Structure 1
Amino acid sequence: MEMPLTGIRVVDLTRLLPGAYCTQLLADLGADVIKVEEPGTGDYMRLTPPLVDGQSVLFNAINRRKRSIALDLKTDRGHQALLRLVETAAVLVEGNRPGVMDRLGIGWEVLHKRNPRLVMCSITGYGQDGPYASRAGHDLNYMAIAGGLGLNGTRDGPPVPLSVQVADIGGGGLGPAVQILAALVGVERGSEGRWIDVSMTDGAVGALALAFAAQAAGERVARGDQRLAGRYPCYRVYACGGGGYYSVAALEPKFWKALCQALDRADLVELQYSEDLAVQGTMEEIFASMTRDQWEERLSSLDACCEPVLDLDEVAKHPQIVARRLLEPRPQGRAPQLGEHTEELLREIGL
């Protein structure tokens, strides 16, 4: 079946999560993603446990439907093969530190001259300029500098790493995918290709737009004490009796009123946005009075934005996840073995 990006070739020089997630989004839309890897070692996410049949399940999760070619870009043959691939491509995505592509002889000026319609996207931790441009880092560091890590946790506790890599996936995956698609539209309208400078730290800062706006307006924004992170009783996570937790996100007055009525606590209706910790304490006592399953039975039919907090091994059984078939095996194909398509691709480019 033809898909929106059928016929669009993407050359992927990235490793690990951010770039792979970005090109996976493009592959899922039908792009022919060519993963260029170093012979013998390849993307070292391939060996990140747990392994199944000698290859990481983490690698497999974000590299399906791609083809792999093993090229040593430091050799003339590998260098020429990449340039021939670029001639056939619409997009090249890379994740090296600034300057590495130029040292390899495949920087923007060279690639743009070879293929003026090419869109090149460079995904780095801090961008192509600034004092941190060449500094090593990972998602935790980008979130730390952006301020997101400092806001995550309880009021009296230390910053807690997020369980989802926001900078990697949002700033280094989804964000550049959108920019690449926009650049492709520009090319289709007659523009030349362009070089996209993506910084994961930039993306993390952008994700905090509301927090920065609130702070600039004089509102208190602190760890465990924000509008959507523990300040109000209507938007919190509550521990249930016997273990387990329940999420309450009754921000709108109609939802909060419905919840208070279901709890037989009409006296709390006017305290929706109270900052008195005693009100939170009252809600904590209420939810601690029953188990999570009992609360689910009582609140599941209520239209009030309240849902149980699921553990990972419970997600696949949730009726909405089942209905949307989110965790079923995908039909799009498996992830490639290292260099699996080398000969095939070399033939395609006449080498």
Structure 2
Amino acid sequence: MMLPLEGVKVVDFSTLLPGPLCTLLMAEAGANVIKVEKPSGGDEMRSYVPKAGPDAVNFGMLNRGKRSTVLDLKSQTGREAAMTLIDEADVLVEQFRPGVMARLGLGFDAVRARNPRLIYCSITAFGQSGPKAAMAAHDLNCLAQTGMLALSAGIDGAPVLPPALIGDIAGGAYPAMMNILLALRQREQTGVGSRLDISMADGLFTLMYWAIGKGTNTGEWPKPAAEFVTGGNARYQIYRTSDGGYLAAAPLEETFWRNFTRVIGAPELATRSGLDTSVKERVSALIASETAKAWADRFKNVDACTVRVIGLEEALENRHFIERGLLDRKVRMPGGELIAALPVPLAGALRTEAPILDAPALGASKPRFAYDP
């Protein structure tokens, strides 16, 4: 079957994570993606560690199935070559600070005059307008400025450094992909392209729906380590076990809570509120009396939404994820090394079946969408 984005041409000026992940999803769905890189070393992600050959593993995982061309956008020749690519493109993705593309002569107004069907997608920390638009920022800064980082604080009040780049992915790459697909659909109806302003910070507020709902409607703003899903509820909690392990317990519904209290040997708590501090203290004491494995064995065949906290290595070795084929696909690095491909949230029927795709060598392709002979 034809892949959903076959025939779609994407010119990608982005670097690091948000834009490259967005265009990776498009490439996996069949799009022809050309990555425009700077002459001096290309995408900075190439220099990261660990490496597989000359380039970083991170780069290979995020740029599988794309091609790379080198253009000096500070030169007239480079800008003209870029404009030639844009003339043919269906989608442009960039994540420079607001105004940079315009100063290069590649801004939306300039390219729309030549290619009115283009979907022009800009991904930035705080968007194209507003007092923070020009602020230099990374993922952590977006989390800090939207209230999300404050909500991650533990009992001691100190925010916890997240283990995932939430702003880049959930606030940037995923909304960009979603809006590009909607814009392509709209173009089918209207015949014209559109300008997409993707703010990673804006996207983070969607993830805090419960906190916004409480604060704006009651005037009582959520406190860290004290709310329904952030530490204040015995029914949604991480409990320490006797061997220093942890149990992740989320028996929110009454049925699950009854099962949970029965397994831990405290059925009398089944009618008590999880928001009662004494309930959380009692459950904590009971869980602390056994090892993580012992509790995992007890909950194994019980519907109580309670599992042992495991590490990434153990998770990837778990039979469930192995049978799901999470790491079956590979990336061939420019030096020939094979690494695991990044698992992406695309249904198998909508993405390439190729088990191995190449990560592009820097500047290996000419600045054109036709595949080089």
TM-score normalised by the chain length of structure 2: 0.89
Change (3 A) 1:346 1:5: closer
The residue aligned with 2:312 is 312
The residue aligned with 2:183 is 183
**Letter paired with 2:196:** I
The residue aligned with 2:241 is 240
Matched, 1:143 2:143: yes
**Letter paired with 1:307:** V
Asked whether the 8 Å contact 1:65–1:335 carries over to 2, the reply is yes
Residue 332 of structure 1: CA displacement? 4.7
Provide Cα deviations, 1:196-233, integer angstroms capped at 9, x if missing partner.
01111111122212211111222451111111111111
**Letter paired with 1:257:** R
The residue aligned with 1:348 is 370
CA distance in 2, matches of 1:334, 1:256: 49
The residue aligned with 1:85 is 85
Secondary structure in structure 2 of the residue aligned to 1:237: strand
Asked whether the 8 Å contact 1:256–1:272 carries over to 2, the reply is no
CA distance in 2, matches of 1:236, 1:210: 17
The residue aligned with 2:297 is 297
Secondary structure in structure 2 of the residue aligned to 1:153: coil
The residue aligned with 1:227 is 228
CA distance in 1, matches of 2:50, 2:64: 17
Secondary structure in structure 1 of the residue aligned to 2:113: helix
Change (3 A) 1:347 1:204: closer
Matched, 1:11 2:11: yes
CA RMSD of aligned residues (A): 1.6
Secondary structure in structure 1 of the residue aligned to 2:184: helix
CA distance in 2, matches of 1:99, 1:205: 25
CA distance in 2, matches of 1:37, 1:231: 48
Asked whether the 8 Å contact 1:83–1:114 carries over to 2, the reply is no
Secondary structure in structure 2 of the residue aligned to 1:189: helix
Residue 13 of structure 1: CA displacement? 0.2
Residue 349 of structure 1: CA displacement? 9.3
Asked whether the 8 Å contact 1:84–1:349 carries over to 2, the reply is no
Asked whether the 8 Å contact 2:15–2:95 carries over to 1, the reply is yes
CA distance in 2, matches of 1:232, 1:220: 16
Change (3 A) 1:299 1:349: closer
CA distance in 1, matches of 2:16, 2:57: 13
The residue aligned with 1:273 is 274
The residue aligned with 1:173 is 173
Residues 69-218 of structure 1: pairs in structure 2 closer than 5 A: 69-218=69-218
Instruction: Pick which of 180-189 and 279-288 moved more.
Output: 279-288
Residue 142 of structure 1: CA displacement? 0.4
Residue 156 of structure 1: CA displacement? 2.1
CA distance in 1, matches of 2:305, 2:371: 54
The residue aligned with 1:288 is 288
The residue aligned with 2:336 is none
The residue aligned with 1:334 is 358
CA distance in 2, matches of 1:286, 1:275: 16
Residue 80 of structure 1: CA displacement? 1.7
Residue 246 of structure 1: CA displacement? 1.0
Change (3 A) 1:284 1:73: same
Asked whether the 8 Å contact 2:248–2:309 carries over to 1, the reply is yes
Provide Cα deviations, 1:90-132, integer angstroms capped at 9, x if missing partner.
1000001111111101110111111110000011111111111
Provide Cα deviations, 1:227-272, integer angstroms capped at 9, x if missing partner.
1111111110111121221110111000010111222211110124
CA distance in 2, matches of 1:274, 1:348: 61
CA distance in 1, matches of 2:17, 2:223: 29
Asked whether the 8 Å contact 1:143–1:149 carries over to 2, the reply is yes
Asked whether the 8 Å contact 2:94–2:123 carries over to 1, the reply is yes
TM-score normalised by the chain length of structure 1: 0.95
Provide Cα deviations, 1:150-193, integer angstroms capped at 9, x if missing partner.
00021223011211111110111001110010000000112410
CA distance in 2, matches of 1:64, 1:347: 17
Asked whether the 8 Å contact 2:264–2:287 carries over to 1, the reply is no
Secondary structure in structure 2 of the residue aligned to 1:246: strand
Asked whether the 8 Å contact 2:10–2:91 carries over to 1, the reply is yes
Asked whether the 8 Å contact 2:32–2:369 carries over to 1, the reply is no
Residue 311 of structure 1: CA displacement? 0.8
**Letter paired with 2:295:** W
**Letter paired with 1:188:** E
Provide Cα deviations, 1:271-312, integer angstroms capped at 9, x if missing partner.
242332x22121112211221112111111111111211111
CA distance in 2, matches of 1:335, 1:281: 51
Specify every segment of 5 or more residues in structure 1 that has no aligned partner in the other structure, as ranges.
none
**Letter paired with 1:348:** A
**Letter paired with 2:256:** F
Q: How many residue pairs align between the two structures?
A: 347
CA distance in 1, matches of 2:231, 2:371: 57
Matched, 1:258 2:259: yes
Secondary structure in structure 1 of the residue aligned to 2:36: strand
CA distance in 2, matches of 1:106, 1:349: 24
